[in-house]
Amino acid sequence: MVEGDVSMIRKLLVAIAALAASACSYGSAVDMAPMNARLSKPALSPGDYCEVQGEAAPFRIISSEDCVPVTWSKDARTYTMIDPEDPADSMEAAIASLGQGLYLGQIEVETDQPDKYQIQVFIAKGSAFAIVPALGDDELKQLAPKHPKVGFRNDTTGRPYIVSGSRDRIKTFLIAASKESLREMAIEKEALGVGVLDTAGAADHDATKQQIKDIEAVLKAAKALTSR
């Protein structure tokens, strides 16, 4: 269930800002992570996060390349994901809990459009995480009407984005969207990319007992969400 392109974690993390204009995130005009809603403690320990390969233990950790340094700001309550190749492309994300083992990472992008907040949903357990792919345009258009308490409007590409609603209602929508995405992945037998805390530049290696525990916890949480 966890395999594929060794650069996937780096691409998922450092390209989110660029991908925000496409169907790779949820646009919002509503700030879902104001200071009082942000986590006061990190959901994941700061450090280098590296790609996990393998369908079951022993997982393989690809630590020799494409790991992403992640730092935590206690004052701002944000993560900064650093692009090792171009620090200028690093980005800061505010984190808030959605419940059910899910979190949202919110990035504020420079735009004159109202959907300046771009949201990714992820699962975090111990020192491992997986980003839940955002629904595609068609699937999002089908789901949006099922949440009448959340207002939507189409952006310039025709993709719906959030324009109104209470944070609780929007959280409910994001959870539902994430469950639907995970169900689609299970049906299509698509891999869920997982990253785990390790040491960037170290030789690739089998996962340690603690890493296995955290990776399996992420996969278990993802599987549980598909059945709800």
Q: Which two tokens stand for residue 81?
A: 């994901």
User: Which whole number is the average pLDDT over 73-87?
Assistant: 84
What is the per-residue pLDDT across 150-172, written as a single tens digit (0 to 9) for each? 999 999 889 999 999 999 999 99
- Residue 117 near residue 32, CB atoms below 8 Å: yes
- The pLDDT, as a whole number, for residue 16 is 45
Looking at the predicted structure, is the pLDDT value of residue 208 above 60? yes
Tell me the pLDDT of the chain averaged across its residues.
87
- Residue 60 near residue 211, CB atoms below 8 Å: no
Share of the chain above pLDDT 90, in %: 69
Task: For residue 158, give the H/E element and its range.
Answer: none
- The pLDDT, as a whole number, for residue 139 is 96
- The pLDDT, as a whole number, for residue 9 is 52
Looking at the predicted structure, is the pLDDT value of residue 56 above 60? yes
Looking at the predicted structure, is the pLDDT value of residue 22 above 50? no
Looking at the predicted structure, is the pLDDT value of residue 4 above 50? no
Higher-scoring residue by pLDDT: 74, 83: 74
Looking at the predicted structure, is the pLDDT value of residue 11 above 70? no
